[in-house]
Amino acid sequence: MRVTDYGLRVTSAVVLALAMCGALAGQPSPHVVFVTGDDEYRSEVTMPMVAAILEARHGIRTSVAYARPTPQTADNIQGLEALDTADSIVLFTRFRALPEDQLQRILRFVESGKGLVGLRTSTHAFQYKAGHPHEGLNDAFGRDVFGQKWITHHGSQSSTDVTVQATNASHPILRGVVPFHARSWLYHVDPLNGPATVLLNGMSVNSNKTARQTEFPLTQPVAWTRQYKQSRVFFTTLGHPDDFAAEPMRRLVLNGILWALRRDVPSGGADAGVVGTYTPPETYDLSKLPPR
């Protein structure tokens, strides 16, 4: 069992017991790899918390890859070799410029036909300098794989009221997911690139674009599914650390992971009970982040 980042430890006793039960039932445990490194929304804390729930509540093996030596390090993510045995990736990165070997590990997995899950800043997962051979990934990766690139948001002073898309309310990912309020400020993503099934919508509260609603409407999709080649894709633009204090948010992400794995989502949704306790960490000082 891994030691999660920055001193957070998770016991393996329950995980081992559940994994053994799964093996006895003839259902090998899938392997989900969380790739973190966003330097803004503390994915190095929130993703291990989600991984611990997957292991303890659902008997799914997980690994977590981290930006090193700090989450702000844009050119190094350790642990990506875990993707070689993964059944799904959960990507939560922001403006990375990874060396070739690390980038290719991610790209090979994305082309493998296995489950693809992305959160928030993964619309702009990479940021290579102008003229770099991989500069095109800055926009194309988020747009082509997840359905949208980075465009803009409604301001960090705002938050989002999240509601279910009524026409798709029976989708398995929405089992047990009820409307909730998210601290995440709303991302502008509409129209999405290519066919998608919108699951949740968000309405910006206290937007800084109220006067520009024609250009940037206050309501946008915040969670959807799509197909990338042979892969099931689930994406949400939510992901502020405060969001994960809400059970519907945790359940949404867990359901999305199970769905991307082609596993059955429980009728009432995934058990989203936190393993131990979860106190949302502070986000980084946004004034010190690299420009968008």
Which residue carries 């420009």 as its tokens?
291
- DSSP assignment of 153-178: ES-TT-EEEEEE-GGGTTSGGGTT--
Query: pLDDT grade, residue 55 (50/70/90)?
Result: very high
24 dihedral zone (left: phi>0; alpha: psi -120 to 50; beta): alpha
Structural tokens at position 92 = 């939560």
CA distance linking residue 67 with residue 246, whole number of Å: 26
Most distant CA atoms of the chain, gap in Å: 60
Which residue carries 């990912």 as its tokens?
173
Query: Could you tell me which residues come within 8 angstroms of residue 149 by beta carbon, excluding any fewer than 6 positions away?
Result: 123, 124, 138, 139, 140, 142, 143, 193
| Domains of the chain with CATH codes | 5-150+221-288 (3.40.50)
CB atoms within 10 A of CB 164: 18
Query: pLDDT grade, residue 27 (50/70/90)?
Result: low
Give the mean pLDDT of 21-26.
43
Structural tokens at position 68 = 């090193």
Which pLDDT score, from 0 to 100, does residue 285 have? 72
Q: Is the pLDDT assigned to residue 16 strictly greater than 70? A: no
Q: Which of 123, 71, 115, 78 is nearest to 99 (CA)?
A: 78
Which pLDDT score, from 0 to 100, does residue 287 have? 63
Q: Is the pLDDT assigned to residue 190 strictly greater than 90? A: yes
Q: Which of 100, 119, 129 is nearest to 222 (CA)?
A: 119
Q: Residue 188, Cα to own-chain centre: how many angstroms?
A: 17
Backbone angles phi, psi at 177, to 5 degrees: -100, 120
Per the prediction, the chain carries an average pLDDT of: 91
